[in-house]
Structure 1
């Protein structure tokens, strides 16, 4: 420590102190201020980016909420459309069944009426043929009965005996 005190020069100390002060002033003017400004600008940029990210996050949450709402509305609308389509399908099927049943009933009715008419016509024709056959048979029997005089007399007597007078 003694060597330091012996080599100590006051002029050199002041010169070095003056140079140090000049370097500090120069550094402050030319280096620290731009460095501090750059740091401040960077800090402001980072802060703005954070705020922008936060705003974007909030906007994304709002968009997601809106998307969910739209999805729910779309699903509800789809369900109502499907329900309406099912109801229309069921109504159309029911209408078709009703119409088919009415047509079937009408066809059965017409068929029964036609069968009844054909039956009546067949019965009438059968009666007519039976009557014609009965007349022919009676005609043949009467001819044979009336061809003989003895048989005519017997026939008249039997009819008279069967007939009762009031």
Structure 2
């Protein structure tokens, strides 16, 4: 029955330790974590806006490219076969170059986003780990600081053991 209903002192010290850890985390950890997360959120929003702008530019380039294609079709009837071949070659190269540049820009943006995400996660994990270790060290130092109380507790445990 003792295991189901802990002693009031144990409950009290557990509550005090929890409150200390909670206050330390609130004072030192949450602000840097929230600022890091908000900076990361802003960075991601900026990256998304940049990607959206690039997408819009690509759509504009595509519409401009389609307009150039229509004009080229109108002029095609007036040009010789040799001129037609040269025009098709130039249009094809422009499309390939535009596609390659768009793919490169999108890939670079995704790589930057992933790098920043991983860097933020690593930094966050490191900060949380250091804080946890500091808190654990302080709790253990406090718990192991009272030697007479520990010896009394050990003696009490020894007396409670029933030998058959």
> Is TM > 0.5 for Structure 1 vs Structure 2?
no
The higher relative CO (CA closer than 8 Å, separation ≥ 6) is in 2
TM, length-normalised to structure 2? 0.40
TM-score, normalised on structure 1?
Answer: 0.40
Which of the pair is proportionally richer in helix?
Answer: 1
Q: Which has the larger radius of gyration?
A: 1
